[in-house]
């Protein structure tokens, strides 16, 4: 019944206090849901009759909020644990033992009279302190299949068995659709609706769709949207420094514009079936409408390009790269460097022209994977070259994403050593080389090194760096090697910083994290089993770390590792003038058809994501590199 | 059916006064949200108000959405648009009219909305637009504005329903102008249309690939997923190469850091979820290697994929080459590196969770659950594979090197053990831990970390226990050695844990297998362990080990524990706390007495069912010259001391000190004084105790019926099927003056097997007592008055399912004969003088009980010196018309120990010959029976006990008979019976050939009531 499409039965936005901040349900979709169940009933499989009626009920807002609160109580956190632990039990999402159950949850509604029923799949997104819940329409069969998974009494399914979670998800594109809906709704809540950044080398960075639009129709431009300073993908990379790892909210939640959201929903999915999830387009159409725009004479105008550009023509490309690095300075562990990049584009072209962009150097750059905007028709990559042909939408858009290794020397390399001389005092040493091998167009805008000590309070530090300035916060020491405004260009520098850091004595701090309290219940620390590590020949460092780690909390599954268990230094920098992967665009080779005179501009920028110098003298997290089978 | 006027949106919005502008969208949303649930009888809104709304009204579109939603959700298909729902027809016409202006620029949004509205209506009422299909096609083909998307979707949707309803139409094929969300919808529709027409137009599959194949590189997850569904629906359209590309694409999608985490996870799920990609997954192994900065959720999922690859590698080629297995183990090792911190982080860290999840997924991947839920496939191969060995080795190493992981490993094995399909793996793992880990461990305090694993080993029947017991024994020795003032707490804690493990062992193993080493361990603990509580615990365990039979024991110890699931808590399981259960409603239970029995071992001779409870009546009615004898001459016999004490005892107390006495009387008094100093003074200390031996048993079948017990899985031996009672407490109470009767306790008793009864239970009482179906119970009375009585019995016990059983049983009858004791002998009496002493005492008492003697005024101090006794005698006679043989038999059987002397030649000869009566005075000559001249005189006019004898006829007959010396010339037996607390009963039996005359004297007249009956019963 639901087919391969994506229809949404309802959207709820819950506050951390378990009240419903916003809800929207779609009567049309609900009707289809009922029809599907009634059809299933009609098929008359006897054993299913008993439960058949329950899912037909639809919960009131407060019931959803209560069910969500109840789920948080049972699963430990709002998202759940995602892994079967010794506190999981049959019927909980964590019983299914899959991390995705933190994102696709079930809600159990307990009606006072009669049986309760379950809502599934509820796609959950946590954004800006709010929980966005999106319930797509699914057929009864996958619903039953998931119910069965929840009830399995065995030790957990494998991908080879029938009816496993993977195959259920495979057959439900609506869940994927619901994810995208939830994502956009989350963006609207957080106000994170700026278009991707496009940088032009001369002048301020350009705005988004509305600027093009207002420019082209002669309305004065509105205030510029606040673009994020670095176009780093925010979804998966969270700042490791003192990252709060609990579900409880720090501070209050910002109220969001419900009218804006309501408006968007009417435009994007008037009847529950998503048609366009591009916020800029949808709201532009609803707020601005169409005046006397001419239509193309011989072509269909794509839905994702509701307006045609009018004005001076040009086309701008920007490469934005983020480099993640784990630098160990050890013989046995190779350094890990990875670049994720995107090419954003802004095509100010009249009509509906096709743009072709040849990409070269793919092989040289070892580009591992790339994906393209849906307007792009990419040719099959041959050897080193791939041509992209696209009819660009209006405004800024991400033309392509790619993953590549860092093909030149890491911009910051060297080592960081921290050794605890006593429980409250450590000696450290940095020895770094910056921008070695980077020739002229490369400019390092700034470079800063942070030594985070999230669980210690820094009392003082001592020592002078060979270059730059040092400052100290309660839980970290920051070393600015290159300050913004005094970019480092065309030369490499060496920077050393020996010093000591003193901490305030540790007070036993029990941070009340609900996650910890749940997951650690099974493993109570046993004073009997305490071991004296100092006797076992381990170094003092290890001993102190071990001691400190005793009250370490479990991190969320969204985190890559237990940051607080390690000593490390995080490097932040921005480099312009080139790409680290080596993948570049030649603006001269850009072709527009039908041919127009439109200059192509190109700029490049690279910045650090998780760029970590692991303490050479301590423990460090690693990952194996693939071996050939 | 004419729909009534609409209550719906029109009323809200068209009727004056108009609500403020800013409320309108909220009202619309409200209406929208509360269209649910549509009841079948409700009628749709009557007419489309949007028509009357000006085109440029700011809320027009919202209103339209609401109205259409109302129609779509309220109407049910099929609707004939002309007749049944004229308003629907009007709405559709209006919408079509609105849409029917292709390429009209300014209102393109409105036209798009009209199309969407039409589509929603069509979805709700399939076939609604079937007739307009051609028109829609023309519109869709003509439209060039961005609204074309809506036209196309409308066309496709209408076409889909046409297909569903059997009216075919061709699909459109324009994708480039759609947004990803719309494309998803479009593809879903087209796929359905296309697969419907595939049969007639196979080329359409190729067309699908051409149209949609390009989406493989899209960054939109919706497009990727849509394409995947096409892979499934059109298997022929996509070749092996396409599949490879797609699978590769999915594997890489998970590596794209810019994607939201959920999407990266989904990509891996898609890869694993489709059968089509399953054989391609192994080739993608290198892409599944987790990176350092991958979120843990993604690491976990990638490890799933690696596990799937490893399992595939192992499963396919395990027999062929070691290389394959090496690959699998290599993959596992490599994968675990990314969460290697789990080895040193705390047990609850997320890394640990991910790592063990990976181990599990590898295992389950290699041996998936079978569909029928019995035993999984691939178990045998896996057990012998190097891969599984490697897994075990990893776990053993981890356990021995990282003690913090032990509970996690225990949980891991538990998870396997709890699964029907993978129990074998868990058991094998435990055996491996037993074989490889235990020898590496040294006793000492740090061994405590391993107790969770030991507990698992102890729980498992398939693992031999000797290594564990040996290690624990060493541990106990070590703990004992290390014990000092600073380590008291440690010794206690660790010691009790060890004993806890022993308990677990007791519970899960046949005691015969572990009996020797375990009892050794327990004995060692009991003997030398420094902590008292631990020793106690060990003692209890040892007792249970040696006393309670095997399976029953295990069942007891299992009571109150959770059913073995995956999630038992760690700390709790060592010491079970029985779960409190509501005691069953006793009223609904059948009478306990019907199947629980407490019976006397020696039945009473007198089968009497009455008991003369002597309340105060007889005494109070009586004037002061009384019978009651033991008197308290001490200060105040306080009520508090003996609250239940009979008040009669102080009545009739009379201080009499003036007396005259002859020498015979003086001798008698001397004997009596000497004697009474050995009679305990029950008022001030404990008196004589009477013991009644009983047996306790219960019938299995009615018991089970009554309590509905779920018996443990019955083994081969019958004993396990029998119910049992635990901690039986039997309490007694009586209205008779039996003092406080201590309760009895029976720790454990089995129900009597059904149908046993007579034939199986041996007649021999001794044997019966020893059987485990039958417990021997001793009731101890401390009578304050020698009278028969009933003892009420109530019982409390635990059943196996922790229910508390309580109720009363049939009362135990106490006869006068239970009160018969031998008189006490002063300690300074020589052994050979006892018989003489008894004879003297008999005569003295005989004298004293003659009401005519002066001793009645005498008081005799009792043992302890506080109280004293007096004798008020009563006499009686009883004629027993039986042959001497019967009499002698009865006396020898019941009264042998009370016989004091026998005289008369023939009687002596017979009794000596029988050899039953010993240590008495034998007198060949019959003494003169003149003492009994007044035997027939009723001693008291109101003594109804002698009615038989004062009967006129009887007297005559009796006198005549007694006149014949020859008829009772066999001899005389003297019988002296002590009745607690301080009375006596004396028989002088003149045995004759045809009858025996019993002269009775007593200092406790009420006992005559029973004596008469007793004597009757004695010879019957």
The model's pLDDT over B16-27, given as tens digits with 9 standing for 90+, comes to 455 566 666 777
- Across the interface, whether the CB atoms of A622 and B337 are under 8 A apart is answered yes
> Given the DSSP bridges, would you call strands A314-327 and A600-614 parallel, antiparallel or unpaired?
parallel
Polymer length of chain A: 629
> Could you tell me the pTM of the whole model?
0.68
Residue of B344, B871, B617, B572 lying closest to A546 (CA atoms):
B344
Contacts of residue B805, defined as CB under 8 A and 6 or more positions apart, other chains included, come to: B584, B592, B707, B725, B795, B796, B797, B798, B799
- B338 lies in a domain? yes
From the centroid of its chain, how far is CA B742?
31
**What pLDDT score was predicted for residue A236?**
35
- Cβ contact A624–B272 (<8 Å): no
In this model, does residue A497 exceed pLDDT 90? yes
Mean pLDDT throughout A477-491?
86
The tens digit of pLDDT for each residue in B842-889 reads 888 888 887 665 555 677 777 776 777 777 778 888 888 888 888 888
Each residue of B44-68: b (16+ CB within 10 Å) or e? bbbbbbbeebeeeeebebbbbbbbb
Say if residue B533 is in the same domain as residue B433: no
Residue B546: is its pLDDT beyond 50? yes
- The SS3 call for residue B940 is coil
pLDDT value of residue B138? 82
pLDDT of res. A470: 94
> If contacts are CB pairs under 8 Å, which of residues 67-86 in chain A contact chain B?
81-86
pLDDT at residue A23, as a whole number: 92
Q: Is B426 found in the same domain as B471?
A: no
State yes or no: pLDDT of B451 exceeds 80: yes
Residue A500: pLDDT band by 50, 70, 90 thresholds?
very high
H/E stretch holding B423: helix B423-432
Q: How confident is the model at residue A186 (pLDDT cuts 50, 70, 90)?
A: very high
pLDDT of A55 reads 64
Please return the burial class of A13, using the count of CB atoms within 10 Å of its CB with bins 0-12, 13-18 and 19+.
Answer: buried
Partners of A58 on chain B (C-beta within 8 Å) are 36-37
B991 has pLDDT over 90: no
Cβ-in-10-Å burial (0-12, 13-18, 19+) of B203 comes to exposed
pLDDT over 80 (residue A510): no
Least confident of A65-69, A609-613, B140-144: B140-144
Q: Over chain B, what is the mean pLDDT? A: 73
When pLDDT is cut at 50, 70 and 90, the band that residue A209 belongs to is low
Residue B790 dihedral angles phi and psi, to the nearest 5°: -110, 140
Give φ, ψ of B802 to 5 degrees. Answer: 70, 20
CATH code of residue B871: 3.30.310
Lowest mean pLDDT among B587-601, B946-960, B992-1006: B946-960
Is pLDDT of A320 > 90? Answer: yes
Interface contact A232, partner B, CB < 8 A: no
Q: Which residue of B has its CA nearest to A232?
A: B258
**CA B669/CA B659 separation, integer angstroms:** 12
pLDDT of residue B548: 66
Is 2.60.40.1170 the CATH classification of the domain at A314-408+580-614? Answer: yes
pLDDT band at B970 (very low <50, low <70, confident <90, very high): confident
Residues B546 and B484 in one domain: yes
B477 in the same domain as B504:
yes
Q: What is the predicted pLDDT for the residue at B166?
A: 52
Given a cut of 60, whether residue B738 has pLDDT beyond it is yes
> Within 10 A of B150 (CB to CB), how many other CB atoms are there?
27
pLDDT-based confidence at residue B7 (cuts at 50, 70, 90): very low
Interface check for A324 against chain B (CB to CB < 8 A): the answer is yes
> Which chain A residues are closer than 8 Å to B264 by Cβ?
236
| B154-183 as b/e: b if 16+ CB within 10 A | bbbbbbbbbbeeeeebebbeebbbbbbbbb
Interval B765-805: pLDDT, tens: 444 445 667 888 888 888 888 878 888 888 888 777 667 77
Per-residue pLDDT for A540 more than 60?
A: yes
CA distance A596 to chain B (A): 22
Same domain for B415 and B465, yes or no, is no
Q: With bands split at pLDDT 50, 70 and 90, how would you rate the model's confidence at A115?
A: low
Query: What phi and psi values does residue B633 have, to the nearest 5 degrees?
Result: -100, -5
The more confidently predicted of residues B1015 and A431 is A431
Instruction: Report the pLDDT value the prediction gives residue A81, as an integer from 0 to 100.
Output: 83
What's the pLDDT score for residue A326? Answer: 93
Residue A97 has pLDDT above 70, yes or no: yes
Residue (of B58, B59, B145, B64) closest to B106 by Cα position: B145
Q: Which of B802, B875, B895 is nearest to B560 (CA)?
A: B802
Contacts of B184 in chain A (CB under 8 A): 4-6, 173, 177, 274
Chain B residues within 8 A of A369 when measuring between CB atoms: 252-253, 255-256
- Average the pLDDT over B530-547 and give the result: 82
Of the given ranges (A185-189, A499-503, B528-532, B586-590), which has the lowest mean pLDDT? B586-590
Element spanning A497, H or E: strand A493-503
Q: How far apart are CA B282 and CA B286, in angstroms?
A: 9
| Burial (Cβ within 10 Å: 0-12, 13-18, ≥19) of residue A624 | middle
Q: Which residues of B touch A401 (CB under 8 A)?
A: 219, 256, 258
Check pLDDT > 60 for residue B4.
Answer: no
Confidence tier at A437 by pLDDT (50, 70, 90): confident
Residue B317 maps to a domain: yes
Tally of structural domains, chain B: 3
Q: Which domain holds residue B990?
A: 833-926+967-1018
Return the residue matching tokens 């804690």. B493
- Find, among B351, B422, B370, the residue nearest to B391 by Cα: B422
Q: Is B353 domain-assigned?
A: yes
The answer to whether the CB atoms of B301 and A100 lie below 8 A apart is yes
For domain A412-506+564-576, give its CATH number from 3.40.190.10, 2.60.40.1170, 2.40.110.10, 1.10.10.10. Answer: 2.60.40.1170
State the pLDDT at residue B263: 92
pLDDT confidence of residue B588:
45
Q: Among all residues of chain B, which has the CA nearest to that of A34?
A: B37
For chain A, helix (H) and strand (E) counts, in that order, are 12, 23
Mean pLDDT of A60-75: 89
Contact between chains at B105 and A290 (C-beta distance less than 8 A): yes
- Nearest by CB to B177, which of A161, A303, A336? A303
Q: Identify the weakest region by mean pLDDT among A248-257, A327-336, B62-71, B1005-1014.
A: A248-257
Residue of B nearest to A9 (CA): B33
Which residue has better confidence, A508 or B992? B992
Backbone angles phi, psi at A419, to 5 degrees: -130, 130
Give me the residue from A173, A179, A290 closest to B229, CB to CB: A173
The average pLDDT across A121-128 equals 91
Q: Look at chain B and count its residues.
A: 1020
Among A155, A381, A405, A513, the strongest candidate for a mutation testing the B interface, having the largest count of B CBs within 10 A, is A155
Tens of pLDDT, residue by residue over B269-303, are 998 888 888 788 888 888 899 999 999 999 999 99
Which of the two residues, B1007 and B577, has the higher pLDDT score?
A: B1007
Query: Chain A residues with CB inside 8 Å of B149's CB?
Result: 275-276, 302-303
Say how far residue A377 (Cα) sits from the centre of its chain: 26
Q: What is the mean pLDDT of residues B242-268?
A: 90
pLDDT more than 70, % of chain B: 70
Identify the helix (H) or strand (E) that includes residue B746: strand B744-750
Q: Cis peptide leading into A478, omega within 30 of 0?
A: no
Task: In whole angstroms, give the CA distance from residue B375 to residue B368.
Answer: 9
- Of the candidates A170, A271, A561, which has its C-beta nearest B116's C-beta? A271
The sign one gets for the Cα dihedral A396, A399, A402, A407 is negative
What share of chain B has pLDDT > 90, as a percent?
4
Q: In this structure, what DSSP letter does residue A272 have?
A: S
Closest CB to A528 among B349, B354, B448? B448
Same domain, B878 and B977: yes
A166 close to A155: Cβ distance less than 8 angstroms = no
pLDDT of residue B422: 85
Of residues B355 and B688, the one with the higher pLDDT is: B355
* Residues A566, A612: Cα–Cα separation, whole Å: 11
Task: Report, as an integer, the average pLDDT of A34-44.
Answer: 78
Q: Per mean pLDDT, which range of A69-73, A584-588, A622-626, B965-969 is the poorest?
A: B965-969
Q: Which residue has the higher pLDDT, B964 or B249?
A: B249
Average pLDDT of chain A to the nearest whole number: 81
B435 and B464 part of one domain: no
A623 touches chain B (CB under 8 A): yes
Whole-angstrom distance, CA of residue B491 vs CA of residue A527: 12
Whether B330 is in a domain gets the answer yes
pLDDT of B765 reads: 45
Q: What is the pLDDT of residues A153-180, one digit of tens each?
A: 888 777 777 778 998 999 999 999 999 9
Chain B contacts in chain A segment 466-495 (CB below 8 A):
none
* B584 in Cβ contact with B806 (< 8 Å): no
In a domain, B158, yes or no: no
| Residue of B829, B827, B845 whose CA lies nearest to B898 | B845
Residue to substitute from B224, B280, B296, interface A, most A β-carbons within 10 A: B296
Measured N-to-C along each axis, helices B488-508 and B451-459 cross at an angle, to the nearest 10 degrees, of: 20
Q: CB within 8 A of B963, min separation 6: which ones?
A: none
Would you call B421 and A154 a contact, using CB atoms and an 8 Å cutoff?
Answer: yes
User: Within A479-617, where are the H helices?
Assistant: 514-519, 540-548
Provide the CB-side half-sphere exposure for B363 (13 A, CA): 28
Distance, in Å, from the CA atom of B150 to the CA atom of B178, rounded to the nearest integer, reads 9
At residue A508, the pLDDT reads 57
Q: Looking at the structure, do residues B868 and B995 belong to the same domain, yes or no? A: yes
Instruction: With a cut of 50, say whether residue B672 has pLDDT above it.
Output: yes
Choose one of B534, B557, B580: the last residue of a domain. Answer: B557
B419, B440, B461: which is the final residue of a domain? B440
* Range of A431-435, B443-447, B963-967 with top mean pLDDT: A431-435
In a domain, residue B589? The reply is no
CB atoms B296 and A557 under 8 Å = yes
- B1012, part of any domain: yes
Residues of chain A with CATH 2.60.40.1170: 314-408+580-614, 412-506+564-576
Q: Are B1010 and B787 in contact (CB under 8 A)?
A: yes
If asked whether residues B858 and B989 sit together in one domain, one would say yes
Residues 275 through 304 of chain A touching chain B, CB cutoff 8 Å: 275-278, 281, 285-286, 289-297, 299-304
Which two structure tokens, joined as six digits, stand for A494? Answer: 């060496």
Pick B182's closest partner by Cβ from A303, A369, A624: A303
What is the number of alpha carbons within 13 Å of residue A32 lying toward its C-beta?
Answer: 28
CA B37 to chain centre: 47
Place of tokens 């791939």: A386
Show which of B557, B590, B609 is a domain's final residue: B557
For the stretch B473-522, pLDDT in tens is: 999 898 888 888 888 888 888 888 888 888 888 877 776 777 888 888 88
Digit-coded pLDDT (tens) for B174-187: 556 778 888 888 78
């Amino acid at each position: 019944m639901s087919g391969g499409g994506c229809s949404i039965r309802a959207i709820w936005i819950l506050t951390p206090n378990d009240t419903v901040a916003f809800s929207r349900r779609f009567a049309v979709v609900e009707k289809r849901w009922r029809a599907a169940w009634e059809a299933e009933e009609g098929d008359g499989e006897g054993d299913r009759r008993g439960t058949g009626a329950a899912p037909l009920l639809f919960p009131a807002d407060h019931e959803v909020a209560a069910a969500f609160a109840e789920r948080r109580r049972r699963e430990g956190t709002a998202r759940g644990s995602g892994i079967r632990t010794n506190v999981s039990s049959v019927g909980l999402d964590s019983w299914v033992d899959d991390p995705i159950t933190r994102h696709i949850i079930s809600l159990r509604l307990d009606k006072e009279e009669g049986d309760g029923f379950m809502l599934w799949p509820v796609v959950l997104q946590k954004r800006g302190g709010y929980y966005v819940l999106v319930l797509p329409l699914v057929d009864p069969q996958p619903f039953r299949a998931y119910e069965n998974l929840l009830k399995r009494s065995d030790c957990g399914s494998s991908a080879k068995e029938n009816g496993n979670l993977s195959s259920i998800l495979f057959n439900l594109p609506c869940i994927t659709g619901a994810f995208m809906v939830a994502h956009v709704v989350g963006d609207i809540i957080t106000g994170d609706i700026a278009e991707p950044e496009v940088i032009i080398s001369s002048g301020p960075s350009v705005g988004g769709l509305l600027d093009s639009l207002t420019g082209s129709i002669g309305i004065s431009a509105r205030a510029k949207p606040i673009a994020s300073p670095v176009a780093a993908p925010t979804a998966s990379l969270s700042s490791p420094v003192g990252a709060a790892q609990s579900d409880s909210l720090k501070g209050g939640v910002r109220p969001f514009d419900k009218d804006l959201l309501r408006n968007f929903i009417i435009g994007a999915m008037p009847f529950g079936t998503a048609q366009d999830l591009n916020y800029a387009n949808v709201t532009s159409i609803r707020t601005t409408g169409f005046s006397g725009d001419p239509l193309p004479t011989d072509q269909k105008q794509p839905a994702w390009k509701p307006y045609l550009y009018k004005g001076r023509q040009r086309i701008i490309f920007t490469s934005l790269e983020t480099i993640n690095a784990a630098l160990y300075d050890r013989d046995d562990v190779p350094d890990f460097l990875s670049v994720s990049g995107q090419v954003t584009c802004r095509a100010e072209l009249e009509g509906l022209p096709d743009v072709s962009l040849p990409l070269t150097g793919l092989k040289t750059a070892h580009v591992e994977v790339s994906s393209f905007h849906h307007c792009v028709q990419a040719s099959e990559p041959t050897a080193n070259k791939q041509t992209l042909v696209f009819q660009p939408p209006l405004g800024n858009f991400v033309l392509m994403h790619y993953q590549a290794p860092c093909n030149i020397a890491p911009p910051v390399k060297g080592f960081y050593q921290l050794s605890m001389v006593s429980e409250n005092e450590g000696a450290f040493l940095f020895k770094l080389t910056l921008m070695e091998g980077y020739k002229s167009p490369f400019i390092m805008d700034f470079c800063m090194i942070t030594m985070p000590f999230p669980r210690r309070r820094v009392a003082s530090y001592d020592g002078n760096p060979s270059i730059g300035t040092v400052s100290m916060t309660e839980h970290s020491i920051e070393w600015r090697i290159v300050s913004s405004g005094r970019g480092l260009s065309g030369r490499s520098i060496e920077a050393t910083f020996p010093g000591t850091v003193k901490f305030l004595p540790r007070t036993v701090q029990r941070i009340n994290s609900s996650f910890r309290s749940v997951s650690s219940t099974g493993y109570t620390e046993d004073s009997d089993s305490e071991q004296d590590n100092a006797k076992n020949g381990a170094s003092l460092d290890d001993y102190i770390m071990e001691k400190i780690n005793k009250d370490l909390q479990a991190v969320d599954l969204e985190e890559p590792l237990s940051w607080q268990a390690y000593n490390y230094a995080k490097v932040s920098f921005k480099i312009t003038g080139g790409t680290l992967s080596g993948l570049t665009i030649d603006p001269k080779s850009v072709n527009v058809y039908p041919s127009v005179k439109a200059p192509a501009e190109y700029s490049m920028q690279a910045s650090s994501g998780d760029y970590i110098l692991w303490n050479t003298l301590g423990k460090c997290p690693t990952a194996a590199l693939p071996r050939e089978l | 059916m004419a729909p009534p006027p609409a209550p719906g949106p029109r009323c809200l919005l068209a009727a004056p006064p108009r609500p403020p502008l800013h409320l309108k969208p909220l009202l619309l949303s409200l209406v929208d949200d509360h269209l649910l649930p549509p009841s079948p009888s409700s009628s749709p809104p009557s007419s489309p108000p949007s028509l009357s709304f000006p085109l440029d009204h700011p809320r027009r579109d919202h209103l339209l959405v609401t109205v259409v939603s109302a129609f779509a959700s309220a109407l049910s298909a099929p609707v004939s648009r002309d007749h049944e729902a004229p308003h629907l027809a009007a709405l559709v016409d209006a919408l079509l009219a609105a849409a029917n202006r292709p390429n009209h620029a300014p209102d393109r949004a409105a036209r798009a909305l009209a199309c969407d509205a039409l589509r929603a209506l069509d979805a709700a009422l399939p076939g609604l637009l079937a007739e307009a299909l051609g028109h829609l096609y023309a519109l869709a083909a003509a439209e060039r504005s961005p609204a074309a998307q809506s036209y196309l979707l409308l066309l496709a949707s209408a076409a889909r329903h046409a297909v569903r309803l059997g009216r075919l139409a061709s699909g459109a094929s324009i994708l480039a102008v759609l947004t990803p969300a719309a494309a998803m919808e479009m593809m879903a529709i087209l796929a359905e249309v296309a697969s419907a027409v595939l049969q007639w137009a196979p080329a359409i599959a190729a067309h699908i690939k051409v149209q949609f194949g390009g989406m493989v590189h899209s960054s939109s997850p919706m497009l990727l997923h849509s394409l995947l569904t096409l892979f499934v629906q059109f298997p022929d359209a996509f070749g092996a190469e396409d599949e490879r590309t797609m699978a590769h694409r999915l594997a890489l999608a998970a590596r794209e850091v810019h994607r939201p985490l959920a999407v990266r996870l989904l990509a891996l799920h898609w890869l694993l979820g489709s059968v089509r990609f399953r054989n391609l997954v192994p080739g993608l192994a290198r892409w599944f290697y987790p990176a350092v900065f991958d979120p843990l959720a993604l690491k976990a999922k990638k490890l799933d994929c690696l596990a799937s690859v490893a399992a595939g590698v192992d499963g396919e080629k395990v027999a062929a080459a070691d290389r394959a297995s090496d690959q699998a183990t290599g993959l596992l090792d490599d994968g675990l590196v990314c969460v290697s911190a789990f080895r040193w982080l705390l047990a609850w860290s997320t890394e640990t969770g991910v790592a063990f999840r990976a181990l599990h997924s590898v295992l389950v991947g290699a041996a998936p659950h079978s569909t029928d839920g019995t035993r999984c496939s691939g178990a045998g191969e896996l057990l012998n594979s190097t891969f599984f060995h490697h897994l075990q080795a990893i776990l053993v190493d981890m356990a021995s090197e990282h003690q913090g992981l032990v509970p996690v490993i225990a949980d891991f094995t538990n998870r396997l053990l709890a699964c029907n399909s993978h129990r074998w793996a868990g058991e094998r793992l435990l055996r491996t831990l037993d074989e490889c880990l235990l020898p590496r461990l040294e006793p000492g305090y740090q061994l405590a970390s391993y107790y969770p694993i030991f507990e698992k080993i102890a729980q498992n029947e398939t693992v031999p226990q000797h290594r564990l017991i040996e290690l624990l024994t060493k541990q106990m020795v070590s703990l004992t050695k290390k014990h000092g003032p600073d380590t008291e707490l440690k010794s206690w804690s660790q010691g009790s844990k060890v004993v806890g493990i022993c308990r677990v062992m007791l519970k899960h193993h046949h005691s015969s297998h572990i009996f020797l080493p375990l009892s050794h361990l327990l004995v060692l603990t009991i003997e030398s362990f420094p902590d008292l509580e631990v020793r106690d615990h060990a003692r209890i365990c040892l007792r249970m080990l040696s006393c309670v039979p095997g399976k029953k024991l295990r069942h007891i110890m299992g009571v109150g524990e959770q059913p073995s699931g995956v999630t038992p808590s760690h700390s709790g399981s060592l010491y079970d706390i029985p779960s409190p259960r509501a005691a069953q409603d006793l009223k609904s239970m059948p009478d306990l007495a019907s199947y629980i029995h407490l019976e006397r071992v020696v039945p009473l001779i007198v089968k009497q069912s009455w008991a003369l409870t002597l309340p105060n009546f007889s005494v109070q009615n009586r004037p002061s010259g009384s019978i009651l004898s033991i008197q308290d001459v001490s200060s105040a016999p306080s009520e508090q001391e003996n609250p239940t004490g009979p008040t009669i005892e102080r009545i009739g107390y009379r201080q009499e000190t003036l007396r005259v006495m002859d020498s015979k009387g003086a001798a008698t008094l001397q004997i009596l004084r000497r004697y009474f100093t050995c009679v305990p003074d029950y008022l001030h200390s404990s008196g004589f105790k009477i013991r009644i031996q009983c047996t306790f048993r219960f019938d299995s079948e009615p018991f089970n019926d009554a309590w509905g017990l779920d018996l443990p899985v019955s083994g081969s031996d019958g004993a396990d099927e029998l119910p049992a009672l635990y901690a039986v407490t039997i309490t007694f109470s009586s209205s008779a003056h039996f003092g406080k009767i201590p309760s009895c306790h029976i720790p454990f008793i089995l129900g009597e097997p059904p149908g046993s009864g007579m034939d199986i239970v041996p007649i021999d009482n001794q044997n019966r007592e020893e059987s485990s179906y039958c417990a021997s119970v001793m009731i101890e009375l401390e009578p304050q008055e020698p009278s028969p009585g009933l003892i009420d019995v109530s019982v409390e016990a635990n059943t196996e399912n922790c229910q508390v059983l309580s109720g009363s049983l049939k009362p135990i009858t106490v006869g006068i004969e239970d009160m018969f004791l031998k008189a006490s002998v002063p300690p300074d009496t020589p052994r050979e003088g006892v018989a003489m002493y008894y004879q003297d005492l008999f005569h003295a008492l005989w004298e004293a009980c003659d009401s005519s003697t002066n001793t009645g005024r005498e008081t005799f101090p009792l043992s302890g010196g506080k109280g004293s006794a007096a004798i008020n005698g009563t006499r009686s006679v009883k004629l027993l018309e039986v042959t001497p043989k019967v009499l002698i038999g009865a006396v020898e059987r019941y009264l042998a120990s009370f016989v004091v002397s026998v005289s008369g030649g023939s009687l002596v000869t017979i009794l000596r010959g029988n050899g039953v009566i010993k240590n008495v005075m034998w007198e060949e000559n019959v003494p003169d029976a003149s003492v009994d001249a007044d035997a027939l005189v009723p001693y008291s006019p109101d003594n109804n006990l002698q009615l038989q004898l004062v009967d006129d006829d009887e007297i005559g007959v009796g006198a005549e008979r007694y006149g014949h010396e020859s008829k009772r010339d066999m001899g005389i037996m003297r019988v002296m019976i002590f009745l607690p607390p301080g009375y006596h009963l004396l028989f002088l039996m003149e045995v004759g050939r045809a009858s025996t005359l019993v002269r009775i004297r007593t200092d406790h007249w009420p006992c005559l009531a029973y004596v008469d009956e007793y004597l009757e019963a004695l010879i019957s």
